[in-house]
């Protein structure tokens, strides 16, 4: 259904979502380039941050381009296969966001509560294993909800009250009994929502307890500063995701649910690069280095093109 069919609002919506999509993709890709190009940032914390940025790029690329095409073509129709594909990939990348935030909380827990054993516990094999498990768990979640939505009948004439094939909307359209549908939704929400969120809460409970035992105010401030960006993203992501699924469970306004979906599917991935870069000097330094190299390369290419286009210079 999108947001509005008013012709006067279409250019505004197009510009808004196109700009947010470009900022989100460019910002997250810049973080990935900054981390991979700086050897000092080859640590578990920044490895997980790159994985989170990749998931954010995937989530926005799954939802926003189709919305932009719908605005340009004035058609919000999506095929059955296209809807299931969009839903599946949005679940994979959204669940990856969820699980990577949990893994990052565990990383901060080990770094602050067990600093002497950090290098041993968070070794490269462990980091790769955590990311691989998060991805496989996301695939399992996508497969489970895909099979649930396959129970839908008469799909050709249904309207989805969102700007993409939101699983929380599609699950309400299944032809299985309401009780079974609700139990499956609650089960998925418990396993992929409540358990990771509880893990984050427990990690920060232990982190705060450890920080409060630090004698110096400078040490406490430094420890808290390493967690501030992550806490901000967690609150923004989980607050909107829980809002969407509570809206679906209690049948609150579907229009409000669509607006909240924009926050976790578009706004949060767009804000993540700013949140992590503005509060992290290492990231800012690496990003400035990447940008300066890009500018130098562009100026060099421009200079070479000017020399090639100038016959007098070529003859000399």
What pLDDT was estimated at residue 227?
Answer: 80
Whether the model clears a pTM of 0.75, i.e. scores above it, the answer is yes
3-state secondary structure the chain: CCCCCCCCCHHHHHHHHHHHHHHHHHHHHHHHHHHHHCHHHCCHHHHHHHHHHHHHHHHHHHHHHHHHHHHHHCCCCCCHHHHHHHHHHHHHHHHHHHHHHHHHHHHHHHHHHCHHHHHHHCCHHHHHHHHHHHHHHHHHHHHHHHHHHCCCCCHHHCCCCCCCCCHHHHHHHCCCCHHHHHHHHHHHHHHHHHHHHHHHHHHHHHHHHHHHCCCCHHHHHHHHHHHHHHHHHHHHHHHHHHHHHHHHHHCCCHHHHHHHHHHHHHHHHHHHHHHHHHCCHHHHHHHHHHHHHHHHHHHHHHHHHHHHHCHHHHHC
Dump pLDDT digits (tens) for 99-141.
Answer: 999 999 999 999 888 888 999 999 999 999 999 999 999 999 9
What pLDDT was estimated at residue 155?
Answer: 57
Domain residue ranges of the chain, discontinuous segments joined by +? 10-279
173: nearest Cα among 186, 188, 157: 157
Which CATH architecture is the domain 10-279 placed in? Up-down Bundle (1.20)
Dump pLDDT digits (tens) for 62-110.
Answer: 989 998 988 888 888 888 888 889 999 999 998 999 899 999 999 999 9
pLDDT band at 24 (very low <50, low <70, confident <90, very high): very high
Does the structure show a pLDDT above 90 at 57? yes
The structure tokens 């950090």 sit at 118
């Amino acid at each position: 259904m999108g947001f509005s069919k008013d012709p006067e609002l279409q250019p505004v919506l197009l510009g808004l979502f196109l700009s947010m999509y470009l900022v989100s993709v460019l910002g997250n890709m810049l973080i990935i380039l900054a981390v991979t190009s700086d050897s000092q940032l080859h640590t578990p914390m920044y490895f997980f941050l790159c994985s989170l940025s990749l998931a954010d790029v995937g989530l926005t690329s799954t939802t926003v381009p189709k919305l932009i095409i719908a605005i340009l073509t004035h058609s919000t129709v999506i095929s059955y296969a296209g809807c299931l594909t969009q839903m599946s990939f949005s679940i994979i990348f959204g669940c990856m966001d969820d699980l990577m935030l949990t893994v990052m909380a565990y990383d901060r827990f080990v770094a602050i509560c067990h600093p002497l054993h950090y290098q041993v516990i968070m070794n490269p094999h462990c980091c790769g294993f955590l990311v691989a498990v998060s991805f496989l768990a996301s695939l399992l979640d996508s497969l489970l909800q895909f099979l649930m939505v396959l129970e839908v009948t008469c799909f050709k004439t249904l309207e989805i009250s969102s700007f993409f094939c939101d699983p929380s909307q599609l699950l309400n359209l299944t032809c299985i009994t309401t009780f079974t549908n609700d139990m499956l939704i609650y089960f998925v929400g418990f396993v992929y929502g409540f358990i990771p969120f509880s893990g984050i809460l427990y990690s920060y409970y232990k982190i705060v307890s450890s920080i409060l035992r630090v004698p110096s105010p400078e040490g406490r401030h430094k420890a808290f500063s390493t967690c501030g960006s992550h806490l901000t993203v967690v609150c923004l992501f989980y607050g909107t995701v829980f809002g969407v699924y509570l809206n679906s469970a209690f049948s609150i306004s579907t229009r409000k649910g669509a607006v909240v979906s924009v926050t976790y599917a578009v706004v949060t991935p767009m804000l993540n690069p700013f949140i992590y870069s503005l509060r992290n000097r290492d990231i800012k330094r690496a990003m400035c280095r990447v940008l300066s190299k890009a500018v130098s390369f562009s100026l060099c290419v421009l200079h070479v093109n000017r020399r090639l286009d100038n016959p007098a210079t070529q003859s000399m």
